[in-house]
């Protein structure tokens, strides 16, 4: 197991212990949810604690768990890579805003295949996950990779076993490019996978692929990058071969109309543009507009205010894309909706 994955497991164990309450500092910020942004949230948390003394007790349990915990008010914020729609936000008195964008990438463990050497398109990827393509040297894979020596070996498919915003964005893309996937399997944070083995979290999928010969999985790019995993290139909506890089994620987000959806809930999958990465996604924070603990909500907003202002360079080093200044301005304006029992915005009290 890689040093990075061991560090993640240790950090997650620490979060679980802190969540028990006894070890947590009174001023620590509590949150839970998506594993997609965990690498950057952990770096932000370390830097923020060094500066302010306030820690972040974040449980990377998957988007589904994060939504459940914020709805139950057991944490100050939830984190989800699946944006909630306007009705869901209203029904649960939630405010939603994006923090960063990143890319979901296919990762493989095939002997002799190097990062970026293999290329897939959406339909081929969908048919692998649907169990229609079962061998690495299948004609569809070989046609895309005429210069790559592909083994006559069964493909071991790895998927997310937990409720996952990464899975939501991944299946959204597969449904967008393959009609059979859309009708037979669909789009959700968890689906009935026809084949494969499940693993929990981005870190679980990364570990399973790393340990399983001839496997394929899907993870947020930071996990592939930090674990030196073999990622594939993709053919995008314009039919162009693209590598998973920051500029390709940024290209996919360039024309996003963030104000078109409640809570900035824009889906960035399969965007047009010759340089666009097809599985780009934003990750979101969920907080109650009727804050039962105004002080805790204010501390969380202080953290995100700091992250927007000071965290861009750290995000860029992990190939996440910071939110545009115009979006950040709109997000901070929306924070006025988060009010304490006295009816006053908790963010206004920070100034």
Structural domain containing residue 118: 103-254
Whole-model pTM?
0.89
Q: Apex CA 278: angle with CA 277 and CA 281, to 5°?
A: 85
The CA–CA distances, whole Å, from 263 to 58, 154, 163 equal 22, 43, 21
Instruction: Determine, yes or no, domain membership for 289.
Output: yes
Q: 325 with 197, same domain? A: no
- Is the domain of 127 the same as that of 211? yes
Looking at the structure, do residues 171 and 237 belong to the same domain, yes or no? yes
What are 233's strand-pairing partners?
119
- Asked whether residue 115 falls in the same domain as residue 250, the answer is yes
**Residue 262 located in a structural domain:** no
CA distance 261 to 258: 7
Domain edge (last residue) among 254, 270, 298: 254
Q: Which residues contact 332 (CB under 8 A, 6 or more apart)?
A: 305, 308, 347
Q: How many domains does the chain have?
A: 2
Whether residue 300 is found in the same domain as residue 246:
no
User: With the C-alpha atoms ordered 64, 322, 5, 269, is the resulting torsion angle positive or negative?
Assistant: positive
| pLDDT at site 226 | 85
- Shared domain check, 203 and 332: no
Q: Does residue 23 surpass a pLDDT of 80?
A: no
Quick one: 165 and 80 in the same domain? Answer: no
Q: Which three-class secondary structure string do you get for 220-238?
A: EHHHHHHCCCEECEEECCC
Mean pLDDT of 196-220: 97
pLDDT range class, residue 149, cuts 50, 70, 90: very high
Kindly state whether residues 210 and 334 are assigned to the same domain. no
The pLDDT score that the predictor gives to residue 9 is 42
User: Are 210 and 304 found together in one domain?
Assistant: no
- Here the CATH number for the domain that contains residue 111 is 3.40.190.10
Q: What is the pLDDT of residues 229-274, one digit of tens each?
A: 999 999 999 999 999 999 999 999 998 899 999 999 999 999 999 9
């Amino acid at each position: 197991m890689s040093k990075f994955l061991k560090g993640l497991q240790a950090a997650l164990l620490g979060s679980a212990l802190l969540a028990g309450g006894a070890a947590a500092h009174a001023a620590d910020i509590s949150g839970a949810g998506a594993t997609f942004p965990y690498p950057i949230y952990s770096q932000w948390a370390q830097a923020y604690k060094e500066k302010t003394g306030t820690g972040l007790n974040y449980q990377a349990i998957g988007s589904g768990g994060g939504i459940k915990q914020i709805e139950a008010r057991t944490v100050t914020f939830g984190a989800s890579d699946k944006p909630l729609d306007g009705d869901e936000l209203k029904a649960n008195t939630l405010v939603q805003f994006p923090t960063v964008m990143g890319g979901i990438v296919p990762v493989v463990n095939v002997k002799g295949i190097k990062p970026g050497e293999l290329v897939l398109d959406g339909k081929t990827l969908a048919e692998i996950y649907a169990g229609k393509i079962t061998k690495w040297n299948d004609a569809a894979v070989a046609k895309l990779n005429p210069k790559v020596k592909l083994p006559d070996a069964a493909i071991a498919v790895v998927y997310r076993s937990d409720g996952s915003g990464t899975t939501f964005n991944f299946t959204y893309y597969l449904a967008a490019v393959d009609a059979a996937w859309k009708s037979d399997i669909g789009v959700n944070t968890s689906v009935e996978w026809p084949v494969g083995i499940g693993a929990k979290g981005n870190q679980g999928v990364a570990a399973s692929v790393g340990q399983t010969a001839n496997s394929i999985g899907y993870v947020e790019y930071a996990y592939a990058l930090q674990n030196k995993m073999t990622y594939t290139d993709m053919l995008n909506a314009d039919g162009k071969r693209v590598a998973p890089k920051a500029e390709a994620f940024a290209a996919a987000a360039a024309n996003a109309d963030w104000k078109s959806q409640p809570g900035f809930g824009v889906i960035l999958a399969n965007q047009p543009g010759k340089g666009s990465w097809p599985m780009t996604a934003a990750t979101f924070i969920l907080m109650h507009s009727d804050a039962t603990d105004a002080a805790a909500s204010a501390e969380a907003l202080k953290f995100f205010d700091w992250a927007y202002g000071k965290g861009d360079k750290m995000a860029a080093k992990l190939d996440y894309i910071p939110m545009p200044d115009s979006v950040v301005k709109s997000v901070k304006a929306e924070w006025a909706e988060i009010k304490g029992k006295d009816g006053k915005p908790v963010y206004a009290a920070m100034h």
